[in-house]
Structure 1
Amino acid sequence: MNRYCFQLQVKPDHIEAYRVAHAAVWPEMLEALAATGWHNYSLFLRADGLLIGYVESDDLAAAQRAMAATEVNARWQAIMSDHFVDLDVPPDEGFIPLAEVFNLEDQLDVSRRQSSE
Structure 2
Amino acid sequence: MRRICFQLQVKPDHVEAYRAAHAAVWPDMLVALRDTGWHNYSIFLRDDGLVIGYFETEDLDSNLAGMAQTEVNARWQTAMADHFVSSELPADQAFVYIPEVFNLEDQLANQ
Report the TM-score range of the alignment, normalised by the length of the smaller protein: over 0.9
Residue aligned with 2:5, SS: strand
Sequence identity percentage: 66
Query: After superposition, what is the alpha-carbon deviation per residue over 1:35-79, rounded to whole angstroms, capped at 9, x for unaligned?
Result: 001000000001100000001011112101100000000000000
**TM-score normalised according to structure 1 size:** 0.93
Amino acid at match of 2:62: A
Aligned to 1:48: 48
Deviation at 1:86, TM superposition (A): 2.3
Matches of 1:61 and 1:14, distance apart in 2: 29
Aligned residues: CA RMSD: 0.5
Matches of 2:45 and 2:88, distance apart in 1: 21
Amino acid at match of 2:89: V
Deviation at 1:82, TM superposition (A): 0.8
4+ residue segments displaced more than 6 Å: none
Matches of 2:87 and 2:37, distance apart in 1: 24
Please identify the structure whose Cα radius of gyration is greater.
1
Matches of 1:60 and 1:19, distance apart in 2: 25
Matches of 2:53 and 2:61, distance apart in 1: 15
Q: Does residue 96 in structure 1 map to residue 92 in structure 2?
A: no
Aligned to 1:115: none
Aligned to 1:114: none
**TM-score normalised according to structure 2 size:** 0.98
Aligned to 1:77: 77
Aligned residues: 111
| Runs of at least 5 residues in structure 2 that lack an aligned partner in the other structure | none
Matches of 1:82 and 1:68, distance apart in 2: 19
Moved more, 80-89 or 28-37: 80-89
